[in-house]
């Protein structure tokens, strides 16, 4: 961290993923690339000099030009409401990164890879999926993604396209509301769902879990109960407020 410095970033595009979630494409001065799963710090400075900074996962694959961030609005937050509701193409912010070396996956690590996302926890895991396809890797990857409703599934159409690639599986579960004819799961991710939808522990997948704290703790604990080696489970969590 001591070697990282704040860099100016210009918003080159911004678009909604869901009513609460927005993706920002950035042009960052001096950007040298990143690994899937890393994040950046974002800093805003008000006219009176007040500054606020928060961390956001990088959504884009390393093969893409410049980083993309996908931000969920936290109504009580200082930073996310501005990023989701106010920021426009051509506006400038400051970023610092990329940051992180533990919660990363790249094609050189191989597979199989098990990804488990709760809500906006899909962001760094989607970067891993995008990289898997863009790099030409043949690693088997399975994503289990928990959302409250179909309308809150981030990257829904893109995930459907990624799932058409050989060796890529995407499994959805909707915990609050399921549309008529829904064929996916309709409950929270627990031991029983994992026993049915995840690979057996004997396959020794590299496992990444990201989402709200309660989701991550429940999923990681259930995986251990199913016989997964805790040393192969990497977790990243976020709280309900502060973003």
Neighbours of 240 (CB within 10 A): 10
> pLDDT tens, 81-138?
999 999 999 999 999 999 999 999 999 999 999 999 999 999 999 999 999 999 999 9
Q: Indicate whether 198 pLDDT > 90.
A: yes
Q: What's the pTM?
A: 0.93
Q: Indicate whether 182 pLDDT > 70.
A: yes
Q: What gap in Å lies between CA 29 and CA 26, rounded to an integer?
A: 10
Q: Is-contact 208 151, C-beta < 8 A? A: no
Those residues whose C-beta lies under 8 Å from the C-beta of residue 211, and which sit 6 or more positions away, are 116, 117, 118, 119, 120, 121, 146, 219, 237, 238
Structure tokens at 111: 């597979």
**pLDDT for the residue 239:** 59
Per-residue confidence band for 16, with pLDDT thresholds at 50, 70 and 90: very high
**pLDDT for the residue 65:** 85
Where on the phi/psi map is residue 39: left (φ > 0), alpha (ψ -120 to 50), or beta? beta
Per-residue confidence band for 74, with pLDDT thresholds at 50, 70 and 90: very high
| DSSP 8-state assignment for residue 105 | -
Q: What gap in Å lies between CA 114 and CA 124, rounded to an integer?
A: 13
**pLDDT for the residue 242:** 33
**pLDDT for the residue 2:** 45
To the nearest 10°, report the CA torsion of 64, 54, 121, 66: 0
> pLDDT tens, 126-174?
999 999 999 999 999 999 999 999 999 999 999 999 999 999 999 999 9
H-run or E-run covering 49: none
**Residue 121, CA distances (Å) to 1, 4, 6, 112 in order:** 23, 25, 25, 20
Q: Indicate whether 4 pLDDT > 90.
A: no
**pLDDT for the residue 3:** 61
Domains of the chain: 7-99 (2.40.30.10), 107-238 (3.40.50.80)
> pLDDT tens, 39-67?
999 999 988 889 999 999 999 999 998 89
Q: Is-contact 58 68, C-beta < 8 A? A: yes
The 10 Å CB-count burial string (b at 16+, else e) for 140-175 is bbbbbbbbeeeebbbbbeebeebbeeeebbbbbbbb
Counting Cα atoms < 13 Å in the Cβ hemisphere of 9 gives 27
**pLDDT for the residue 30:** 83
């Amino acid at each position: 961290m001591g070697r990282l410095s704040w860099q100016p970033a210009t918003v080159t595009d911004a678009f909604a993923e869901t009513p609460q979630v927005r993706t920002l494409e950035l042009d960052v001065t001096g950007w040298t690339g990143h690994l899937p799963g890393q994040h950046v710090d974002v800093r805003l400075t008000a006219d009176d000099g007040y500054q606020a900074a928060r961390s956001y996962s990088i959504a884009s694959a390393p093969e893409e030009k410049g980083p993309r961030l996908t931000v969920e609005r936290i109504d009580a937050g200082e930073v996310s409401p501005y990023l989701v509701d106010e920021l426009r193409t051509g506006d400038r912010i400051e970023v610092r990164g990329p940051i992180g070396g533990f919660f990363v996956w790249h094609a050189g690590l191989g597979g199989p890879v098990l990804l488990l996302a709760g809500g906006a926890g899909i962001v760094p895991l989607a970067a891993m999926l995008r990289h898997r396809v863009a790099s030409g890797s043949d690693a088997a990857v399975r994503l289990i993604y928990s959302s409250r409703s179909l309308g809150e599934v981030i990257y829904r159409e893109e995930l459907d396209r990624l799932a058409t690639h050989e060796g890529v599986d995407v499994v959805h579960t909707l915990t609050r509301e399921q549309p008529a004819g829904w064929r996916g799961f309709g409950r929270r991710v627990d031991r029983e769902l994992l026993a049915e939808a995840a690979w057996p522990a004997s396959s020794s997948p590299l496992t990444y879990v990201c989402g709200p704290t309660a989701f991550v703790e429940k999923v990681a604990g259930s995986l251990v109960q199913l016989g997964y080696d805790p040393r192969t489970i990497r977790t990243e969590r976020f709280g309900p407020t502060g973003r």
